[in-house]
């Protein structure tokens, strides 16, 4: 925005937030990590391991998903996944 341009306040707080984000960022990378888990404490000698990483690239100005990926990870310490109910 040029100094000579007049800035007008967006009508809603959501529009204002989106406007501010769009001025500062082009894209946001969202990262989601999934891990093995148990109800309650893990069995003795076991710990959680990452089994999937989800990635999603968002276009801030258009509020649209540009691309998404899911990367499966083979557990290194335990070959069988935890049972989840």
Express each pLDDT in 39-58 by its tens digit: 888 888 888 889 999 999 99
- In this predicted structure, what is the pLDDT of residue 13? 67
Q: Are 40 and 82 in contact (CB under 8 A)?
A: no
Q: Are 1 and 24 in contact (CB under 8 A)?
A: no
- The neighbouring-strand residues paired with 69 are 55
Residue 44 placed within a domain:
yes
> Which of 36, 40, 38, 30 lies closest to 77 in space, CA to CA?
36
Intervals of the chain under pLDDT 70: 1-23, 78-85
Residue 69 placed within a domain:
yes
Residue 83 placed within a domain:
yes
Domain count, the chain: 1
In 1-85 the beta strands, taken as DSSP E runs, fall at: 27-35, 50-59, 64-72
- In this predicted structure, what is the pLDDT of residue 7? 46
What pTM was computed for the model? 0.59
Structural domain for 64, as ranges = 26-85
């Amino acid at each position: 925005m040029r100094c000579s341009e007049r800035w007008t306040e967006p009508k809603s707080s959501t529009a204002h937030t989106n406007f501010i984000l769009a001025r500062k960022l082009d894209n946001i990378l969202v990262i989601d990590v999934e891990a093995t888990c148990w109800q309650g404490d893990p069995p003795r000698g076991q710990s959680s391991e990452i089994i999937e990483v989800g990635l999603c690239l968002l276009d801030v100005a258009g509020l649209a998903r540009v691309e998404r990926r899911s990367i499966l990870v083979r557990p290194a310490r335990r070959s069988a996944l935890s049972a989840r109910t």
